[in-house]
Amino acid sequence: MQDLAELKKLATAGRVLKLVVACVAVACVLIAAIVVHRVRAGGESRSNDSEGNMSNGAVAYAAVAPVKRETIANSLSIAGQFIPYQNVELHAKVAGYIRKIYVDIGDRVHTGQVLADLEIPELVAQVDEAKAEVHRAEEEIQRAQSEVQRAEADNVALHANAVRLVNTDKAQPGLIAQQELDDATAKDRASQARVDAAKSALASAKQQLAVAQADQQHYAALSGYSRIVAPYDGVVTWRFSDTGALVQAGTSNSSGLPVVTVAQVDVLRLRIPVPESLASKVRVGDSADVHVQATGEHFTGKVTRFTDSLDPSTRTMQVEIDVPNPNYRLQSGMYADVQLSANSRPNTLTVPIEAIRRGDKTSVLVVDAQNRVEPRDVQTGVESSNEVEIVSGLNEGEHVIVGNLESYQPGEVVRTKAASFATSGVAATE
């Protein structure tokens, strides 16, 4: 009986073992099937992705820009300084004391306005003396004229007597003594000489009058300099003297101070130093974009004048822009940021500067109608901060690749997209 029980146990354990083995086998088959399915699915997915990538990624993108006509110019960003249109130190023409000074710093003055009166006592005496000389010369002329009239009257009488005696002697020879004839002729000639001398004295008196009048005008002009007046509308920027001060003549070699300084500021000069590289391209009328740092004002001006020569110490040329300042808002000494455009070329073919390839030859990459890349040699001209003038090699409306130019091969097919660029920066030279 004991042996029978053991046999039953062994039989039960065998059936369990077989069941377990069967379950494990089924599980292995299922796992293998799942793995195979996933491997196949993964392969198909990778195959589909590869095909998609081949269809979409084989043609590269290229940023392009059109060849178009624009106005292009060399430009330069530089700081400029405002200075008065005119600035003058007013000196006294003659030495004297300031009787009254009417202005102070900051006062606005007008053309012809009296700024100061000088007291010059010795000049008053010289003016009076010159007037007296004129009167004396005029009286001398009257006396000389009377002398001429008297000499001419005597000459008429003596000449008539001499002529009468000569005619009588011709009519009745021997009637009049020769001595009497000679005396009459001599007196006639002497009277004529006195007439000539009187006329010379009259001419000399007239010359003396002219000299006296010139002296009078001279001292009268100097007397006019006793009033210091404004030569133009402006502002008194400095005052050097006070009432009662002795001022020296501005024409003397002494280190005399001026009375006041007057600046014309209703129009200012914006002076900018242009470097040597751009100096030869500046022309009168070139446009300039001006931004005043102190006031925040922004306006457009034009080149009014330039020195047409370089400063040897800085290698720059001084360029000026006249800026109206009717309200005196701008002040002399203020700085401004100036964007100067020079060597302007209107209606010229241009491309972005990023489209240019430089080397032995200058070239661009053109995208033709079939979207194929075509290298093209070009000749360039003026270069601005963002664009380049195309002198030859391209036509208006063609498209060129901009950026990553080394990534494209001749004949390669590309997918184009429009490129955009911001305008900023400083342009190079031609």
Residue 52 lies in a domain: no
> Mean pLDDT for each 10-residue chunk of the chain (430 residues)?
49 56 58 52 41 52 89 82 95 87 95 92 82 89 88 84 79 79 82 87 89 88 86 94 85 72 95 88 88 91 92 92 92 92 80 87 89 89 80 89 87 84 39
Given a contact cutoff of 8 angstroms between Cβ atoms, the answer to whether 153 and 218 are in contact is no
CATH of the domain at 379: 2.40.420.20
Residue 201 lies in a domain: yes
Q: For residue 303, count CB atoms less than 10 angstroms from its CB and return exposed for 0-12, middle for 13-18, buried for 19 or more.
A: buried
Tens of pLDDT, residues 283-300? 898 889 999 989 989 999
321, 365: one domain: no
284, 212: one domain: no
Q: Which of 167, 197, 225 is the last residue of a domain?
A: 225
CATH of the domain at 337: 2.40.30.170
Q: How far apart are CA 92 and CA 30, in angstroms?
A: 120
300, 324: one domain: yes
Q: How far apart are CA 405 and CA 358, in angstroms?
A: 11
- Please give the pLDDT value at position 269: 96
- Please give the pLDDT value at position 109: 95
- Please give the pLDDT value at position 340: 87
Residue 353 lies in a domain: yes
- Please give the pLDDT value at position 159: 84
Residue 367 lies in a domain: yes
Given a contact cutoff of 8 angstroms between Cβ atoms, the answer to whether 231 and 91 are in contact is no
- Please give the pLDDT value at position 319: 94
Question: Based on the structure, what is the number of domains in the chain?
Answer: 4
Given a contact cutoff of 8 angstroms between Cβ atoms, the answer to whether 74 and 342 are in contact is yes
Report pTM. 0.59
Structural domain span for residue 163 = 121-225
Residue 378 lies in a domain: yes
Q: Which of 316, 344, 372 is the last residue of a domain?
A: 344
- Please give the pLDDT value at position 305: 94
170, 193: one domain: yes
Residue 391 lies in a domain: yes
138, 203: one domain: yes
221, 267: one domain: no
- Please give the pLDDT value at position 320: 95
Q: Which of 318, 344, 370 is the last residue of a domain?
A: 344
Q: How many CB atoms lie within 10 A of CB 137?
A: 18
Laid out side by side, the sheet with 246-247 consists of 227-229, 114-119, 96-101, 246-247
- Please give the pLDDT value at position 13: 53
